[in-house]
């Protein structure tokens, strides 16, 4: 039977024309045309998740590692509803995730409620509430334009998620011979690309830094997202400027390249508070990085960010420049190299001593020197990893930092592995978070995504248990959990798995499973006190 090209073909053609090579999702009756076109046309890898929330997390990991949009294809109604947590996480952490979902046609939406399958009250409002740009295609001629616009818009300025809602008749109808015949409806205007920083502002930045006695750079996730790690390293080497990072910007600076600590740790915070000039690069100065904005900035603040809403939002900037961090640093390096007194490296303060932890040191020892990505969940171990593990542009760390999404790390790590098959990928989770997406072990095996999942099993929602112990007199409620044997569960999915009872055993197990070319799981049974944040002396 010869297939007649339909709206599904239009979706897939638009994806291919935009350079998309991988999509995530779950086939459904309302998206059958799209998945049929993926099968017939070929050329785009489709990774089938076991839950749409996990599919969105996979796309998020893919986007963070590749710098390209992560694409999700799901049914409307429950599929989009499940993906909303991933959209909110992508919005909070500025990740270009695009969800393509089916929708009912305008007449049926207007007649709501009529008792249709997958009938949602307001899919457009649901997506917009998650921070997504919404593009709607209700006729066949607008499908390709809608997909193309969403993929382009999520990369303009600060990356944000997008949602394409495609009416059922637009998917079912024969593909339009004129893709531009219908104009897609766009419900959120995309941000424009910032202009280049002018020579006068560049020289002003250079003069402020040259005259400073105790300057410091604050490096945020915008440096990572903007692909500016190499330019930052050149700038720090040229000037000798010390750098502190936020947690999402941690791997932008290697310890040996001038990294002075992690905000809001006391040592890094003191450098910022004592600085007479602060050069803030790609950071929004969020609550977690500034201890709910109790950190002071008394010196002159130079704030560089691609998002105008971030400039001066929490701290008054003496010089606020909307700019792409990479192009800004490239231009500033040229100015600094030619400006007397700024080029030769100045003495930096002593680097902080490496943090050591008996359960985190094995991760440091087992990881390869290069080509590594760690995805950390909302778990007690995630407090220690950016402080105790050597990180840099070739040893990356991704976390759901701003939305604090429990259960994110493993699915995101699968997306990372799909984006970078050569990476050694480690997902670090607690037992509570691991059960959110335990079904994705099947996706890892099926699609041969060689991620190592490390589960620290303290049989609880440990962070909340610790808070209850500290602030509620030890009255724990709803946090002590009955948990499975994670290694037995992994083996049931056909995956290699092992337990470790000591730090030495953990290091050996990680060496066998990280970068092994196949998915694996390592479980460590610990007590809440073993990874307690209270035991940190930072």
Report mean pLDDT in 10-residue bins for the chain, 538 residues: 82 97 98 97 97 98 97 98 98 97 92 87 95 95 96 92 97 78 65 80 94 96 96 94 96 93 95 97 95 96 95 96 96 86 76 91 97 97 94 97 96 98 97 96 98 97 91 92 96 98 98 96 95 61
**pTM (two decimals):** 0.95
In angstroms, the CA 194 to CA 79 distance is: 35
Same domain, residue pair 205 and 182: no
In angstroms, the CA 375 to CA 383 distance is: 13
Does residue 356 lie within any of the structural domains?
no
Same domain, residue pair 243 and 283: yes
Neighbour tally for 499: CB within 10 Å: 18
Same domain, residue pair 207 and 176: no
Neighbour tally for 187: CB within 10 Å: 15
Give the domain extent around 305: 199-338
Among 186, 207, 228, the domain-final residue is: 186
**Residue 523's closest CA among 496, 383, 532?**
496
In angstroms, the CA 445 to CA 500 distance is: 22
CATH number where 441 lies: 3.40.50.970
Same domain, residue pair 180 and 203: no
Among 186, 209, 224, the domain-final residue is: 186
**pLDDT for res 227:** 95
Beta strands per DSSP E along 10-150: 22-25, 45-48, 70-74, 97-103, 133-137
Does residue 353 lie within any of the structural domains?
no
The SS3 of residue 426 is strand
**Please, what sign has the CA dihedral across residues 493, 495, 501, 503?**
negative
The SS3 of residue 62 is helix
In angstroms, the CA 220 to CA 218 distance is: 7
Same domain, residue pair 465 and 390: yes
**pLDDT for res 1:** 52
In angstroms, the CA 70 to CA 386 distance is: 25
In angstroms, the CA 411 to CA 378 distance is: 13
In angstroms, the CA 412 to CA 399 distance is: 9
Same domain, residue pair 225 and 146: no
Does residue 351 lie within any of the structural domains?
no
Same domain, residue pair 333 and 228: yes
Does residue 96 lie within any of the structural domains?
yes
In angstroms, the CA 132 to CA 408 distance is: 19
**Residue 174's closest CA among 6, 8, 10, 400?**
6
**Three-class secondary structure assignment of 468-519:** HHHHCCCCCCCCECCCCCHHHHHHHCCCEEEEECCHHHHHHHHHHHCCCCCC
Same domain, residue pair 395 and 509: yes
Question: CB burial class (10 A; 0-12, 13-18, 19+) of residue 426?
Answer: buried
**pLDDT for res 89:** 98
- CB within 8 A of 371, min separation 6: which ones? 394, 422, 423, 424
Could you tell me the CA-to-CA distances from 253 to 228, 235, 256, 426, 437 in Å, in that order?
A: 11, 11, 8, 20, 31
**Residue 90's closest CA among 131, 33, 30?**
131
Same domain, residue pair 158 and 11: yes
Does residue 191 lie within any of the structural domains?
no
Does residue 429 lie within any of the structural domains?
yes
Same domain, residue pair 126 and 243: no
In angstroms, the CA 237 to CA 149 distance is: 40
Rg (CA), the chain: 24
Among 305, 338, 371, the domain-final residue is: 338
Same domain, residue pair 134 and 229: no
- CB within 8 A of 140, min separation 6: which ones? 6, 7, 10, 169, 170, 173, 174, 175, 176, 182
Q: What's the helix, strand, coil split of the chain in %, to 5?
A: 40, 20, 40
The SS3 of residue 530 is helix
The count of domains in the chain is 3
What is the end-to-end Cα distance of the chain in Å, rounded? Answer: 67
How open is the CA angle 130-125-12, to the nearest 5 degrees?
A: 75
Does residue 97 lie within any of the structural domains?
yes
Question: CB burial class (10 A; 0-12, 13-18, 19+) of residue 166?
Answer: buried
Same domain, residue pair 180 and 209: no
Does residue 1 lie within any of the structural domains?
no
């Amino acid at each position: 039977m010869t297939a007649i090209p339909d709206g599904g073909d239009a979706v897939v053609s638009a994806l291919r024309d935009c350079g998309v090579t991988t999509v995530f999702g779950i086939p459904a009756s309302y998206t059958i045309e799209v998945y049929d076109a993926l099968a017939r046309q070929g050329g785009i890898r489709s990774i089938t998740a076991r839950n749409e929330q996990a599919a969105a997390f996979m796309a998020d990991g893919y986007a963070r590692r590749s710098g390209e949009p992560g694409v999700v294809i799901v049914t409307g109604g429950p599929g989009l509803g499940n993906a909303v947590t991933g959209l909110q996480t992508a919005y909070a952490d500025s990740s270009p995730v695009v969800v393509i979902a089916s929708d009912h046609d305008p007449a049926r939406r207007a007649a709501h409620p009529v008792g249709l399958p997958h009938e949602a009250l307001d899919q457009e409002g649901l997506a917009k509430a998650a921070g997504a740009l919404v593009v709607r295609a209700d006729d066949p001629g607008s499908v390709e334009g809608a997909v193309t616009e969403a993929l382009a818009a999520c990369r303009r300025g600060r990356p944000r998620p997008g949602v394409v809602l495609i009416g059922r008749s637009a998917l079912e109808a024969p593909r339009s011979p004129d893709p531009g015949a219908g104009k897609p409806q766009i419900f959120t205007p995309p941000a424009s690309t910032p202009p280049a920083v002018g020579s006068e502002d560049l020289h002003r930045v250079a003069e402020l830094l040259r005259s400073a006695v105790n300057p410091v750079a604050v490096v945020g996730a915008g440096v990572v997202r903007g692909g500016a790690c190499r330019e930052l390293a050149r700038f720090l080497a040229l000037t000798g400027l010390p750098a502190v990072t936020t947690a999402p910007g941690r791997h932008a600076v290697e310890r040996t390249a001038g990294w002075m600590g992690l905000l809001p740790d006391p040592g890094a915070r003191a450098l910022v508070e004592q600085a007479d000039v602060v050069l803030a690069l790609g950071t929004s100065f969020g609550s977690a990085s500034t201890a709910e904005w109790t950190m002071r900035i008394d010196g002159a603040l130079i704030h560089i960010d691609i998002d105008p809403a971030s400039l001066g939002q929490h701290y008054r900037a003496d010089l606020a420049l909307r700019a792409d961090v990479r192009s800004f640093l490239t231009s500033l390096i040229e100015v600094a190299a030619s400006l007397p007194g700024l080029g030769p490296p100045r003495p930096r303060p002593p680097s902080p001593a490496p943090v050591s932890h008996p359960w985190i040191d094995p991760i440091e020892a087992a990881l390869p020197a290069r080509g590594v990505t760690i995805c950390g969940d909302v778990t007690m171990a995630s407090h220690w990893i950016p402080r105790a593990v050597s990180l840099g542009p070739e040893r990356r760390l991704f976390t759901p930092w701003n939305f604090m999404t429990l259960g994110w790390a493993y699915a995101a790590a699968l997306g990372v592995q799909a984006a970078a098959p050569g990476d050694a990928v480690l997902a670090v989770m607690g037992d509570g978070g691991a059960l959110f997406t335990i079904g994705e072990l099947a996706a890892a095996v099926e699609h041969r995504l060689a991620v190592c999942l490390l589960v620290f099993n303290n049989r609880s929602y440990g962070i909340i248990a610790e808070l209850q112990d500290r602030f509620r007199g030890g009255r724990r409620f709803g946090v002590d959990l009955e948990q499975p044997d994670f290694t037995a569960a992994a083996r049931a999915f056909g995956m290699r798995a092992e337990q470790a009872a000591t730090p030495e055993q953990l290091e050996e197990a990680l060496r066998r499973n990280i970068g092994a070319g196949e998915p694996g799981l390592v479980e460590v049974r610990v007590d809440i006190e073993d990874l307690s944040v209270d035991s940190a002396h930072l």
